[in-house]
């Protein structure tokens, strides 16, 4: 692959909201909600609380106060206020990424924004352009329906755009308010899991042309993109007047195994000594490890650490894991893959290497 097929992904700038809570507080609030408005047998409640703890998420941050997210008697959440706050977080992350990359805003040739858990019109991409001084001619690619797959998908689009304008920089932003999928009045098994997994946050990175003095995470062309046939019911979201309801089935985790043969065929003999995978939950990460034939947890350690520290951040999750890679890098020359999964069932991946 030549320089035109390679970009350096700068260390992502991550911004998490102010309301942080640990797993014990989540469990206590769920138990209190159920005590006030019983909906399950005691055995079913305890099984659900065990599922929440089994997510292995130690803490996460939410845009709204926890009592508003987990207490059905609290005032109804203002979805537009939350969406605007999320857009502000995206602007903050984008500003930090541009500053850290030491590029002028006018040099950004393409802006890619993925966000599936907060709706604004115009979107966060317009706010980023206006508030940060990007060129009015910047190419904008906002994506709202990719869910968690948006992380690697955005990198794939960034590589394509870089080929169109090799000297320009590409700004990639993921912003998610996954807590909007938490519904205290719904007691399905999958709804319980989202109480444990969901996190909010924004992450941004700049893709730069490679040069001899620029180290970091290199990503390469020829990305992998795959839509598993007849899998739309594995993950899906319903929107009603009082918020989002995100559904998932047991088939969603098994879908990782269904696509791994195609992923391995695409990788060929490319090593997988580091794997930056979507932090969808322990079962997703374990299925990824098994599907890629990883010998131990080490290649996925940054994703596991991200899951424990921030939960499932949807399209901002993989960038959050990559910040851990920059803090605790592998040896130079280590090669691997960035891979994310989302509704559809959708898979996106790019090859990467640390230099």
User: Quick one: pLDDT at residue 4?
Assistant: 61
Query: How confident is the model over 283-311, as pLDDT tens digits?
Result: 999 999 999 999 989 999 999 999 999 99
pLDDT(174) > 60: yes
Query: How confident is the model over 7-34, as pLDDT tens digits?
Result: 999 999 999 999 999 999 999 999 999 9
How far is Cα 91 from Cα 173, in angstroms, rounded to an integer?
A: 9
pLDDT(2) > 70: no
How far is Cα 22 from Cα 184, in angstroms, rounded to an integer?
A: 17
Query: How confident is the model over 229-271, as pLDDT tens digits?
Result: 988 888 878 877 667 888 888 777 789 999 999 999 999 999 9
CATH H-level superfamily of 217-299+330-354: Thiolase/Chalcone synthase (3.40.47.10)
The answer to whether 231 touches 255, Cβ cutoff 8 Å, is yes
- The number of angstroms, rounded, from the C-alpha of 91 to the middle of its chain's C-alpha atoms is 17
Mean of pLDDT values over 136-140: 96
Closest CA to 158 of 330, 10, 264, 308: 10
Which run of H or of E encompasses 243?
Answer: strand 243-248
Angle at 63 between CA 340 and CA 343, to 5 degrees: 25
Q: Which of helix, strand or coil describes residue 66?
A: helix
The answer to whether 236 touches 52, Cβ cutoff 8 Å, is no
The answer to whether 339 touches 274, Cβ cutoff 8 Å, is no
How far is Cα 10 from Cα 205, in angstroms, rounded to an integer?
A: 6
Strands (E), 10-70: 13-15, 19-22, 59-62
């Amino acid at each position: 692959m030549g320089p035109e097929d390679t970009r350096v992904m700068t260390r992502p700038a991550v911004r998490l909201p102010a309301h942080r809570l640990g797993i014990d507080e989540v469990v206590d609030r769920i138990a209190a909600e159920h005590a006030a408005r019983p909906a399950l047998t005691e055995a079913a409640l305890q099984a659900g609380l065990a599922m929440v703890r089994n997510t292995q998420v130690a803490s996460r941050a939410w845009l709204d106060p926890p009592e508003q997210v987990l207490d059905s008697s609290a005032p109804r959440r203002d979805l537009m206020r939350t969406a605007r706050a999320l857009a502000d977080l995206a602007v903050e992350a984008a500003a930090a990424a541009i500053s850290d990359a030491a590029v002028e805003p006018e040099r950004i040739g393409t802006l890619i924004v993925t966000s599936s858990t907060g709706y604004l019109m115009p979107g966060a991409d317009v706010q980023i352009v206006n508030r940060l001084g990007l060129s009015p001619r910047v190419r904008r690619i906002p994506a709202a329906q990719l869910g968690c797959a948006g992380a690697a998908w955005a990198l794939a689009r960034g590589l394509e755009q870089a080929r169109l304008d090799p000297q320009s920089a590409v700004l990639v932003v993921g912003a998610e308010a996954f807590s909007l999928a938490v519904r205290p009045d719904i007691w399905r098994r999958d709804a319980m899991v989202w109480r444990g997994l969901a996190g909010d946050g924004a992450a941004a990175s700049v893709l730069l042309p490679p040069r001899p003095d620029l180290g970091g995470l290199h990503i390469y062309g020829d990305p992998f993109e795959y839509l598993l046939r007849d899998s739309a019911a594995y993950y899906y979201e319903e929107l009603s007047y009082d918020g989002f309801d995100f559904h998932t089935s047991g088939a969603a985790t098994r879908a990782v195994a269904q696509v791994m043969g195609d992923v391995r065929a695409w990788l060929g003999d490319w090593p997988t000594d580091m794997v930056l995978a979507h932090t969808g939950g322990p079962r997703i990460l374990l299925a990824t490890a098994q599907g890629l034939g990883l010998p131990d947890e080490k290649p996925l350690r940054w994703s596991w650490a991200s899951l424990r520290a921030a939960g499932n951040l949807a399209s901002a999750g993989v960038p959050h894991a990559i910040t851990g890679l920059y803090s605790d890098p592998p040896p130079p020359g280590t090669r691997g893959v960035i891979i994310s999964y989302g509704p559809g069932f959708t898979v996106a991946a790019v090859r990467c290497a640390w230099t």
